[in-house]
Amino acid sequence: MPSIAPLLLSGLNPEQLSAVTLPSQHALILAGAGSGKTRVLTTRIAWLISTNQAGPHSILAVTFTNKAAKEMLTRLSAMLPINTRGMWIGTFHGLCNRLLRAHYREAGLPQLFQILDQADQLSAIKRLLKSLNVDDEKFPPRELQHFINAQKEQGHRASAVEAWDGFSRQRVELYDAYERQCQREGVVDFAELLLRSHELLERHEILRRHYQERFRHILVDEFQDTNKLQYRWLKLLAGGGASMFAVGDDDQSIYGFRGAEVGNMRDLEREFQVAKVIRLEQNYRSHGNILDAANAIIKHNATRLGKNLWTEAGSGEPIRVFESLSDLDEARWIVEEIKALARDGHARAEVALLYRSNAQSRVLEHALFNAGLPYRVYGGLRFFERQEIKHALAYLRLIANPDDDTAFARVVNFPTRGIGNRTLEQLADAAKAQGGSLHAAIAQLNGKAHTSLSAFAQLIVRMREGSAGLPLPEVVDHVLELAGLLEHYRNEKEGQDRLANLDELINAAASFVAEEGSREPLEVGAEEQGELASFLAHAALEAGEHQAGDSDDAVQLMTVHSAKGLEFNVVFVSGLEEGLFPHENAVLEVPSGAQEKGLEEERRLMYVAVTRARQRLYLSFAQTRMLHGQTRYNLPSRFFDEIPAALLKWLTPKFKASTVAEPHSDYAFSRADSASGSLRSARQEDSSGFRIGQNVMHGKFGLGVIINAEGSGPDSRVQVNFSHAGMKWLALSVAKLTPA
């Protein structure tokens, strides 16, 4: 097919051409955002085949998503007159499955082994714990699942895992029992696919040599997202002299929490003695100002291979920055701006709202709902449709109406309290015979079933009684704690997002009260419609309205993590405050040496957020934001300092944070008043002239904002959230604070 080859190369820029036409050697292609890496990877395969340097069956191409693999195969079919069906192009999991199917005997698996997805794996672990009579409170199934998968991704069988105390020893024993259960049942989980494939190639020399000789060209997409075991698997396959062609962007490595090792790119360069590192720096997506901002942010990371994005598309519009008084004001402004964009002819589907944390979507969804703008949450559920929120609302519905069977059935055994399906069947039969609700039918049961269900009914009574007279946000807080939801999610390894969403539900209640203008104590027992009933109706309406269909022109909402690989004409990045973006978990209270690593990943995340925008980019932050029903005062994100001022167009006066926003409601201070007894007085300016919300400067800690105060006279002290040093309590008589 030599005649096809020149056509394949038309339209490539010099760097892309160099990458595509490299001789057979190890190569690392640093492909910046929007630089055409998929085109380079696909064209490279087509070039090797069309120039007779490789046959279709001597190529192994690895992607991270099935979508990317299908796209690559579709493009290849359009480029070359070949049948791509037999080619080894797919995800790590897909290719490993193919390998194990072909060599199931050698791998020690039955021919028709089944694959467990995440939900199936969790069910298998729960079944194991039950069969062994293991306390699932001491060993939460989801946490054990994460432990097992993490060990497998490190290449460790149970026999190789170090145990240093009784707890860790028992956890390793459970891992071993789980392995034996899977082997007995002929099933494998996702992590097992890769681990067993690696072991198969490592232990069977004949098989290893066969595949090493077969695959002469190994091409890997998104190399920065590979974990340790994936890298070791690739090294095994390439050990027979194959050429490794790795495409990736270390500046877009944002999945460290999933085990991705950005250091694999440096290891590849060193271990494979890569002579050719090609940088794809020309961007075909974004205007110059956007790229200049992204370059300026990411250059603050020390551990990077280095590249600088540029474009021929011109500078474009400046990056617009908006400072709001509160998160509600921020959301309202974003909505008004989207309306203006629509009037100017921008499609809503080409507008994306990005945020660092899932919980931030609630305020944005609420503002879009009130404005009647259709929206779609990409890669996740709308706020009121999330599992933990539905659980919390079910408990709230039960204290408002214990005869709500739907709510009763949802949470009667969540968190688990030993109420099995047989007990619930008996209860349903009794309710049917009586013609009443599940709650009312409890009295008809006897024995253990009556005891366990009565305990649940008493829990609802305690919630109801304990909520009487409390403001709505405190009702929500009280119910979350008493129901055990907070404790349940605290025990989950990755339960932080769910806890953040539950915190946001308290904020939603506080905002609802403020918007409705009602401050009367809640009378849960009143027959008339109260705040709780109104709030539950509001939640139901927001969950069910404005759900945009796939074909609707709808605004796109998503976390920055979900946005990777996507692009939009207009992008809003909201919540750019210290502690939120960059997230406090990444920059505060971390083990020694990990702080900088965490901050660098946050910066890569910001780089990804910025480079999603083609034409117009908005950055926004709020002086105050609700957190657990309280007003939190914020500093602007350090990322603003890292972007050259000439690239920014401030829609509001820069950093006017001395103007303190009004809280969402009186409740925002009532909780803090009762907790410290100081915040009410601290709202007033003290004798030193400082006040909450004021920006201050400290000789050692730098710029910060006062968020709390207590004491008086020589005993007065303030809590300051410093931009780089975090939270500090300082005695005003000693600390030399000056207004900033």
Kindly report the length of the chain: 740
Number of neighbours of residue 740 by Cβ within 10 angstroms: 15
Instruction: State the pairing for strand pair 27-31/276-280.
Output: parallel
The pTM for the full model equals: 0.78
CA distance 490 to 487: 5
Give the model's pLDDT for residue 317: 96
Where do we find the tokens 């409705």? 516
Instruction: Say yes or no to pLDDT of 583 above 50.
Output: yes
Instruction: Say yes or no to pLDDT of 436 above 60.
Output: yes
- SS3 call for 627: strand
What would the pLDDT profile of 448-483 be if each residue is shown by its tens digit? Answer: 888 889 999 999 999 998 888 888 888 999 999 999
Instruction: Say yes or no to pLDDT of 670 above 60.
Output: no
CA distance 465 to 651: 49
Instruction: Say yes or no to pLDDT of 151 above 60.
Output: yes
CA distance 297 to 184: 52
Name residue 166's beta-bridge partners. Answer: none
Residue ranges of E strands in 193-341: 217-220, 243-248, 276-280, 319-326
Which of 393-402, 450-459, 588-597, 708-717 bottoms out in mean pLDDT, i.e. has the lowest? 588-597
When pLDDT is averaged across residues 413-417 and rounded to a whole number, the result is: 86
Give the model's pLDDT for residue 687: 40
Where do we find the tokens 């064209």? 43
Task: Fill in the amino acid letter for 653.
Answer: P
Catalytic center residues: 37-38, 221-222, 252, 612
Read off the pLDDT band of 665 (50, 70, 90): very low
When pLDDT is averaged across residues 263-290 and rounded to a whole number, the result is: 93
Give the model's pLDDT for residue 671: 32
- Please, are residues 167 and 110 in contact by the beta-carbon 8 Å criterion? no
How far, rounded to the nearest angstrom, does the alpha carbon of residue 327 sit from its chain's CA centroid?
20
When pLDDT is averaged across residues 71-97 and rounded to a whole number, the result is: 89
Read off the pLDDT band of 182 (50, 70, 90): very high
Read off the pLDDT band of 658 (50, 70, 90): very low
- Please, are residues 52 and 28 in contact by the beta-carbon 8 Å criterion? no
Instruction: Say yes or no to pLDDT of 674 above 90.
Output: no
Question: Which tokens sit at 707?
Answer: 């968020």
What would the pLDDT profile of 541-582 be if each residue is shown by its tens digit? Answer: 776 555 566 667 899 999 999 999 899 999 999 999 998 999
CA distance 664 to 328: 8
Give the model's pLDDT for residue 655: 55
CA distance 740 to 699: 12
Which stretch, 137-141, 165-169, 216-220, 507-511, has highest mean pLDDT? 216-220
Give the model's pLDDT for residue 686: 42
Question: Which tokens sit at 4?
Answer: 């096809």
Give the model's pLDDT for residue 365: 92
Read off the pLDDT band of 206 (50, 70, 90): very high
